[in-house]
Structure 1
Amino acid sequence: MVEKAPLHATRTANIDRPPQRSLWSSICIIGTCTLAMIASIVNNTTVSVALPTMQHDLHIEQVTLQWVVSGYALSSACLLLLFGRLADLYGRKKTFVVGSIWLIAFTLGCAFAFDPLVLDVLRGFQGVGAAATIPASIGTLAHSFPPSKARAVAFSTFAAGAPLGGALGFALGGCLTELTKQTWRAPFYLCSALTFVSLVGAMYSFDADEPSTEPDQRVDWIGAFLVTAGLVLIIFVLGQGEVAVPSQWATPYIIVLLILGVAFTTLFLVWQHHLECIHDIPPPLMKISLWTRAKGKVAAVMSIAFLNWCCFMGFNYWCGLYYQNFLQLSPLDTVARLSPMFVTGVICNVIVAIFANRVPMVILVVIGTSLTSTAALLFALINPNVTYWAFGFPAAIISVFGADFVFAPGTMYIASVSAPHEQSVAGATFQTITQLGTSLGVAVSTVVFNRVEMHQMLKYPPGSNSDLNRDIRLPAYHAAEWSNFAFGVLATIIGLIFLRGIGVIGHRTPPKAGPDTEAPSANRKT
């Protein structure tokens, strides 16, 4: 007598196995997820190129200007894990659709802001929508494309959305800011339109949500509170420490909030470890064992992504301000100088799509991080009296290598060591790290800029004959880029030391679920 397979095992196999789909359906899914990534990044880069115009229009102080950028990245980073879990449990398509509608609403709200505080708050609410759409996109791609060359193409194309969104945001943001009556408000209309198109694409192309196969479908709300509170407080302190009254970093409320932020984050990690070890309470929001998989190489990949984004986004932030505030160039002239980033971004992602399953991951990552850090180095040494082609042009060419060569391989690697039911959460963890890198990189470089500027001002008391812009501001811009360079160099060193032995990542057999899951053999193919 033949024994029947358990019903749960049959349902799991059917749900985890992606359905057969046509080429057109595959293209639509990849295109929709990539457009969602582009829209998410455009929401940051269009703002970056319009910052000087916003600063003048809304009378925003230099030291608080970073919150227009960091508010979006902060809320997105803090909620990615929660929405990744919700997407895995209740449906990636539902999460994507709701997140897109939310993002459209608050993006339009930013276009009508007339007060700096209101704009900062709306930017924070914007990030909630991105926190829902991005992990849902990663989970959808991981489920729709099993380990194969198709998955490599899907993830490299999705990853292309980051640098392409960056270049597109700079280009269109600069044009709209300078050429339209709405100036800095016009880019928010653009972001709303991009999100709307991706929403329509998801409703048409995404597979219907299937019931989750997890036996315990409760949500770790305690963990969600701890990680959100901890990260918000830490990033808030980094952003406000320079302007806190009366003693800056020594101001009592800054010290208290920093201690609370570190405490909440530590409690989150302890709580997640506790939940993973005890199986009769809600599953953890983020498995601590994920970081130790593949003998700790997952932690190395996460660290490299974090540091690389500190470098890349910090470089972009100060690069735009250098051109517009220091050299007094228009947004359109700034776009022209940054336009090589777009071409390089396309080329880099073609390279990743072709070579991800041929070249060891360590080579791609180390090349990417070293080139991005070199771009920051060029601006740390830039001489405003020298032609653009000596410093600005090569920096624009090589700056996006890190984003392309880290994001796509990193996303594929994290997917390869994650079980099918945790793809969105694992992808959200990786995204959280990159978003935190964005916030921290801008915050730290802003602190460095302000401290060097204050030190330079002491050298030139009022009434001296110094050129305020060149003698005081230029060393501050250099120092900010030196801090970005340091982030990139550290990422390169970690890659050289800890990523050896991973091999290629294009074709991998997904692991079975379990806290001790390690990356499969690098040379195994399906």
Structure 2
Amino acid sequence: MTAAKASSLAEERDLESGSLKAVSGSLTASNLILIFAVSLTMILNIMNNTSINVALPSIAEELGISQADLQWPVTAYALAFGCLLLLWGKLADLYGRKYAYLGGIACFCIFNIAAALSQSLIQISIFRALQGVGAAASVPAAAGIITETFPPGTRARSLAFACFSAGAPIGSGFGSIFGGVFTQYSPASWRGVFWFTAGISVIPFALGSIFIPRIRLDPTRDKRVDWLGGLLSTSGLTLLVFALSSGPSASNGWKTPYVLATLVLSILLIGAFIAWEDLLVRSSRFSLKPLMPLEIWTRGRLAVNLAVVFVGWCAFQPMLYHATLFFQDYQGLSPILTMIRFLPTAVSGIMVCLVFTLVVPYVYGWTLLTIGSLGASFAAMCMALCRPEDPYWQWAFPAMIISVFGADFIFATSSIYVSSIAKPSEQSLAAGMLQVMMQLGVAIGLAVTGVVNDAVASKSSISLGVIPDSGNSNIPKESLLEGLQAAQWTAFAFGMIGVILTVTLLRPIRVIGVRRTSKSRSASEKPDAVEHKETSERDGEKPLHSAAESTETVVISRDEIPVLGMVLNEKEGQEVKESVYYQK
């Protein structure tokens, strides 16, 4: 096949997907800049959360916000971000990821400026929610951009996802640094945090405008949106995250009527969303495609993989949260000194990016997930074993290091695996699903560990003869320490659930970071081999990175299929024969 014809086929694929034009997966200067831009997007997303945590006391003092209402500037962002990921991911797939990416960053930048000008609780909460809307658009679009820019199995894709994943701990570390520095030393105080974030967000917008390949949309493609599914999923997730966030701080805890009502209503709405999505597929009366095809959960080991991500974040973020309480509430450290103790997370984020890129072509995917789950667990265990008289380097420092290795190994491995399972037209949706499981893991993990913390601390306080008040503000330090340690052991248990799931159910996930180039084995060697088309091709989509006439036919077993981004065959252990195309 001539180069011109190959280019024509690539353009045809581009038109059909209505998304990015496939480009070379080599690490050219422009591709490295693109990786930097999308990774900076993740850094800003996380930095926007951690920086405001440090600034909350100053915000409360200047705007006159009560302690009970102080959660809203934080919760508003989390609600908008976590609950719009599915809808924005689908819109990015339908209308172009570059548009969603740039539009999301622009929204994020504008409302950071607005937040810096806020004069009341209502204003800053609304502007924080709108920041979350922008982040919900840009983050899944960024993941989709990676999958279409870099072919499956290339080191470039592994590096891109490793950097993208490392953006979370790097953003967390830098957010704490900038939040503390601006709040304590800048004349603008907490407002400087938002001004700085807005200014930095101009960088990925400018780089994305230049280096993300241009979009070519197919005007005949069905771009109708399942708005009812979007409404049900967004409403259900919003109420669920709200209930989980409000439960620990409500006047009567989880027994507060509005908490119970929103929790039950969220479950009903999520159930209605699942039923509606199933109806769209099963009923011949509807030609509308579902927002989230339910069958995507049955592909390969995707459901189990997302469950591992969920419990991993039930361990990771609660560990960091209760470590903050240990440093500030128990040890009485200032925000700056607390920030310094979290600096290793930013450094290890850079390290894990390099380490993951080096090992992913040689280590099985399930092994990487096991290492990640163990890291999340052992980090919580270190903080649970940390005693007041122990030096920082004995327990807390190792916890900061291995927690990031754990979380990033889970995130980066899952990102590559999820992108291999999803069709080309589902990449941003699949990335949104991954992010939703992370957000739910954070919400549920914090809720559960918070309940354990309060229960153990209260019980210990009563045993010491001190009856806790409504806010547990009079609990003795000994009881406070017991509660924090119990919360860390709970986080450890979540991480170990991930280890069990990975070892027992995800062992079929083999090497995910290397492209197969082995020669075809004869049919006589594998008599059970059958012809199998990639699911996206069966549905009318061409392979993501196609197509040259010169190909290799590779015979791969069922557990090796995720390497090439194919849907697993239904029959366990059946050999699958696939012709894999790569653009020359």
- Choose the corresponding residue for 1:109, options 97, 110, 114: 114
Q: CA deviation at 1:457?
A: 4.3
Identity over aligned pairs, percent? 34
Q: CA deviation at 1:219?
A: 0.4
The equivalent residue for 1:484 is 491
AA paired with 2:209?
A: M
The equivalent residue for 1:69 is 74
AA paired with 1:257?
A: T
Q: Give the direction of change, closer, same or farther, for the CA distance of 1:240–1:288 in structure 2 (3 Å limit).
A: same
The equivalent residue for 1:503 is 510
Question: Greater helix share, 1 or 2?
Answer: 1
The equivalent residue for 1:152 is 158
Confirm or deny: 8 A CA contact 2:418 2:430 kept in the other structure. yes
- Choose the corresponding residue for 2:214, options 208, 211, 214: 208
Q: Give the direction of change, closer, same or farther, for the CA distance of 1:243–1:167 in structure 2 (3 Å limit).
A: closer
Larger Rg: 2
1:120 & 1:322 partners in 2: Cα distance? 27
Q: How many residues align?
A: 515
The equivalent residue for 1:358 is 362
The equivalent residue for 2:94 is 89
The equivalent residue for 2:570 is none
Confirm or deny: 8 A CA contact 1:70 1:442 kept in the other structure. no
- Choose the corresponding residue for 1:179, options 185, 188, 208: 185
Cα-to-partner distance string for 1:208-238 (whole Å, 9 max, x where unaligned): 2221588432101111111111111122222
**Secondary structure at 2:214's aligned position in 1?**
coil
The equivalent residue for 1:236 is 242
Q: CA deviation at 1:149?
A: 2.0
Does residue 512 in structure 1 map to residue 518 in structure 2? no
CA RMSD of aligned residues (A): 3.0
The equivalent residue for 2:420 is 416
Larger mean CA deviation between 176-185 and 155-164 belongs to 176-185
Does residue 120 in structure 1 map to residue 125 in structure 2? yes
Q: CA deviation at 1:91?
A: 1.2
2:234 & 2:73 partners in 1: Cα distance? 19
2:86 & 2:41 partners in 1: Cα distance? 18
Confirm or deny: 8 A CA contact 1:155 1:412 kept in the other structure. yes
1:404 & 1:239 partners in 2: Cα distance? 24
**Secondary structure at 1:521's aligned position in 2?**
helix
AA paired with 1:211?
A: L
Does residue 521 in structure 1 map to residue 561 in structure 2? yes
Larger mean CA deviation between 409-418 and 448-457 belongs to 448-457
Q: CA deviation at 1:413?
A: 0.6
Confirm or deny: 8 A CA contact 2:80 2:130 kept in the other structure. yes
Task: Map 1:139-288 onto structure 2 (within 5 A).
Answer: 139-147=144-152, 148-212=154-218, 215-245=221-251, 247-278=252-283, 280-288=286-294
Q: CA deviation at 1:51?
A: 4.2
**Secondary structure at 1:94's aligned position in 2?**
helix
- Choose the corresponding residue for 1:39, options 39, 44, 49: 44
The equivalent residue for 2:569 is none
TM-score (norm 1): 0.89
Q: Give the direction of change, closer, same or farther, for the CA distance of 1:489–1:232 in structure 2 (3 Å limit).
A: same
In the alignment, structure 2 segments of 5+ residues that lack a partner are 517-532, 542-557, 565-579
The equivalent residue for 1:461 is 466
Cα-to-partner distance string for 1:336-392 (whole Å, 9 max, x where unaligned): 212122222211111111111211011111111111211112222321122212221
Cα-to-partner distance string for 1:491-520 (whole Å, 9 max, x where unaligned): 2221111110210111369943168x9986
1:59 & 1:360 partners in 2: Cα distance? 53
Larger mean CA deviation between 442-451 and 336-345 belongs to 442-451
1:92 & 1:308 partners in 2: Cα distance? 28
AA paired with 1:205?
A: F
Confirm or deny: 8 A CA contact 1:52 1:324 kept in the other structure. no
2:50 & 2:302 partners in 1: Cα distance? 28
AA paired with 1:249?
A: W
AA paired with 1:135?
A: P
1:70 & 1:494 partners in 2: Cα distance? 30
Q: CA deviation at 1:286?
A: 1.1
Confirm or deny: 8 A CA contact 1:38 1:165 kept in the other structure. yes
Q: CA deviation at 1:255?
A: 2.5
The equivalent residue for 1:302 is 306
Q: Give the direction of change, closer, same or farther, for the CA distance of 1:124–1:283 in structure 2 (3 Å limit).
A: same
The structure whose RCO (Cα within 8 Å, separation 6+) is larger is: 1
1:396 & 1:183 partners in 2: Cα distance? 27
Confirm or deny: 8 A CA contact 2:310 2:441 kept in the other structure. yes
The equivalent residue for 1:451 is 455
Cα-to-partner distance string for 1:411-459 (whole Å, 9 max, x where unaligned): 1111111111111111111111112222332333333333344444444
The equivalent residue for 1:137 is 142
The equivalent residue for 1:494 is 501
2:66 & 2:448 partners in 1: Cα distance? 17
**Secondary structure at 1:95's aligned position in 2?**
helix
AA paired with 2:535?
A: K
In the alignment, structure 1 segments of 5+ residues that lack a partner are none
Q: Give the direction of change, closer, same or farther, for the CA distance of 1:438–1:41 in structure 2 (3 Å limit).
A: same
Q: Give the direction of change, closer, same or farther, for the CA distance of 1:171–1:355 in structure 2 (3 Å limit).
A: same
The equivalent residue for 1:23 is 28
Q: CA deviation at 1:93?
A: 1.2
1:436 & 1:124 partners in 2: Cα distance? 17
Confirm or deny: 8 A CA contact 2:27 2:156 kept in the other structure. no
1:22 & 1:420 partners in 2: Cα distance? 21
The equivalent residue for 2:372 is 368
AA paired with 1:330?
A: S
1:61 & 1:519 partners in 2: Cα distance? 55
2:340 & 2:103 partners in 1: Cα distance? 36
Larger mean CA deviation between 310-319 and 412-421 belongs to 310-319
Does residue 314 in structure 1 map to residue 318 in structure 2? yes
AA paired with 1:129?
A: G
2:563 & 2:441 partners in 1: Cα distance? 31
Cα-to-partner distance string for 1:74-115 (whole Å, 9 max, x where unaligned): 221111111111111111111111111111122223333454
Q: CA deviation at 1:176?
A: 2.4
Q: Give the direction of change, closer, same or farther, for the CA distance of 1:65–1:490 in structure 2 (3 Å limit).
A: farther
AA paired with 1:124?
A: A
- Choose the corresponding residue for 1:406, options 403, 407, 410: 410
Q: Give the direction of change, closer, same or farther, for the CA distance of 1:282–1:319 in structure 2 (3 Å limit).
A: same
Confirm or deny: 8 A CA contact 1:508 1:520 kept in the other structure. no
Q: Give the direction of change, closer, same or farther, for the CA distance of 1:48–1:253 in structure 2 (3 Å limit).
A: closer
Does residue 50 in structure 1 map to residue 55 in structure 2? yes
1:12 & 1:213 partners in 2: Cα distance? 13
